Amino acid sequence: MKKNDLLALGAAATATAAALAGVKKKNADFCPFCEAKRLLNKLTLTQGVTQRYDNGAALTPPMGWSSWNLFASRINEDLIKEIAAAIEQSGLAAAGYRYVNIDDCWQSSERDADGRLQSDKATFPHGIRALADSVNAMGLKLGLYSSNGTKTCEDYPASLRHEAMDADTIASWGVEYFKYDFCHNVPISEKAPRVRQIELSAPGEAAAAIFTPDDVALKGKARILTDDKDGVRWITGLSSRGGSFSINVEAPEDGDRVLTLIVAKASDAERFLRVTVNGKDEYHLYAAQGRAPFRGERRIQLTVRLQAGMNTVVFDNPVGSRMDSAALQYKLMGRELKRAAKDLAARTGQQEKPIVFSICEWGFNRPWKWGAEAGNLWRTTGDIKPVWPSILAIYEATVRLSKYAGVGGWNDPDMLECGNGKLTLEENRSHFSLWCMMAAPLILGNDVRKFVKPDGTPNSDDPLLQLLTNESLIAIDQDALGVPCRRVHAGLRDILVKPLTGGRAAVCVFNKTKAPATLTLDFKKLSDDAFPALPQKAAYQIRDAWSGDTFSADQTNVSVAGHGVRVFVVE
């Protein structure tokens, strides 16, 4: 948080206290308990995980490469093709790295005449579809990027309120990985509009059914308010998870219907209603406001899909905090991506290509609490940098979140910086090992063209290439059990344990200090802990994952280099 933000927060707190004190003097009904509850509400999340995302992708942590860490805005289609070729030629693809992800700066600054995203006409002149075809021809998959905001972090067109169209566009290009950033986000309003009438019509026809406040079922704090001046009756009390109302609508057949709500123009701020059809299809309705010079109401429209027979349509505003807002927005994009992939397959008759949905919200709104329903992975922190303190800090923040991740939904401690900056080989090895222990996505961020000799064969002597293709470590990351490590000992040296398939476990000793260290690993003691589910044995078969050495023991003395790790597979 910047100094200015802190000052602003401080000022806001003082203003709130002053305002509360003012209210207290004037208002005999002031309820400090209710105020405290209201403020507490703002810090809580109600949009948790009710079901996992389940798009059939990222059943193990995704592996690939991204353009951001090294190339940032200096990208073009030739670079992406060269990188894809290098991934294939170096043996990285065979080791599991399959996604070639283009990060920010691929877009033209303008959407096309139909409002669709398009690639930069000079740096990606043949478009993303052609690039995806080239990448696919090398046996690899293409990834793309946008932001859950009005613009991306580098100020290109982004996807907030264009979710359905942009999901269709990227699916139609054959994109199979989508990173969704958080720059220029506009939180959803906690306020709901007052509603006086709901109309339903078939497209191209006048309203066929009209519902007044007397025709709806009210729930929670939702109620009917009669205007003193003109006697108009409004449905109100829907703001901030307060209440809901519902209508039942008969439809002769499956199909689209236009839903019109007549809402009050109460203030300048935009208001929000969620519309849920039959408990599953969710639509977002933004009621732009603005004081009315002539009429105090306006018509807000939305097209919804009804099923033949009776349909229940519920209206509410479930946003009580910024966390709720982020969760709702990311879940919406996640649903649109699933729908777009399915629709494309149905339209073309081709096999469905699920799109890995990568939530890049920097951990601001506790995405580990809702990410598993919204998508396949969620960033746990701000951006990684190729320096040791950054890697250490991100590890510390993420290792605690183990319990939230699992098959199809992963904590994302950000892309790898191995090979970037001035990290030593030992630090690169630790960075990679910790990410594997945490079951993190392994998305390379370096110039992998260096791993290929001029004759097109892999530069197998390159210690970094050897490190990044280490089979034992990759197998730990990709283990089908999908359980990230837990820290069983914390200090200057941490001990991490990650359960693996077949009753095995990976054990990692991590030395955070510069000085080398020696400590004892007691495998028997580890088996006392229920978490790794290691069977009790007199002696265990141990394999050093980095050196490949094997031995049998119930405990062992381990020496670890400064900023280094030792990783063992125990069975």
**In one letter, which amino acid is 131?**
L
Q: Which is nearer to ligand GLA, 47 or 146 (CB)?
A: 146
Could you count the other beta carbons within 10 Å of the beta carbon of residue 535?
9
What residues contact 350, with CB distance under 8 A and at least 6 apart?
Answer: 344
Name the minimum Å distance from CB 77 to ligand GLA.
Answer: 18
Minimum distance of ligand GLA from residue 41's CB (angstroms): 29
Q: Look at strands 309-316 and 410-412 and give their pairing.
A: unpaired
Rg of the chain (C-alpha set): 27
Residue 421 vs 458, nearer CB to ligand GLA:
421
Residue 69: CB minimum distance to ligand GLA, A: 8
CB of 119 to ligand GLA, least distance (A): 16
Q: By the criterion CB under 6 A, which residues form the site for ligand GLA?
A: 68, 103-104, 152-154, 181, 360, 362, 383
104 versus 176: smaller Cβ distance to ligand GLA: 104
Q: Compare residues 412 and 477 and give the one whose CB is closer to ligand GLA.
A: 412
When the beta carbons of 72 and 515 are compared against ligand GLA, the nearer one is 72
Would you say 104 or 494 has its CB closer to ligand GLA? 104
Distance CA 412, CA 438 (A): 9
Beta bridge partners of residue 257, listed in sequence order: 304
Helices (H), 153-289: 163-172
Least distance (Å) from ligand GLA to the CB of residue 449? 21
Closest CB to ligand GLA among 323 and 360? 360
CB of 359 to ligand GLA, least distance (A): 11
Query: Closer CB to ligand GLA, residue 104 or residue 297?
Result: 104
Q: Which residues are within 8 A (CB) of 37 and not within 5 positions of it... i.e. 6 or more apart?
A: none
Residue 68 vs 272, nearer CB to ligand GLA:
68
Say how far apart CA 161 and CA 284 lie, in whole Å: 9
Q: What is each CA distance from 450 to 66, 446, 456, 466, in whole angstroms? A: 15, 9, 11, 13
Residue 361 CB, shortest distance to ligand GLA, in Å, is: 9
Dist. CA 76–CA 167, nearest whole Å: 22
Which one, of 139, 208, 212, 202, lies nearest residue 176 by Cα?
Answer: 139
The tokens describing 556, both together, are 């062992």
Q: Least distance from C-beta 231 to ligand GLA, angstroms?
A: 53
- Burial code (b: 16+ CB inside 10 Å, e: under 16) for 419-453 equals bbbebeeebbbbbbbbbbbbbbbbbbbbbbeebbe
| Triad 327, 361, 384: Cα angle to 5° | 160
CB of 398 to ligand GLA, least distance (A): 15
Contact 81, 132 (CB under 8 A): no
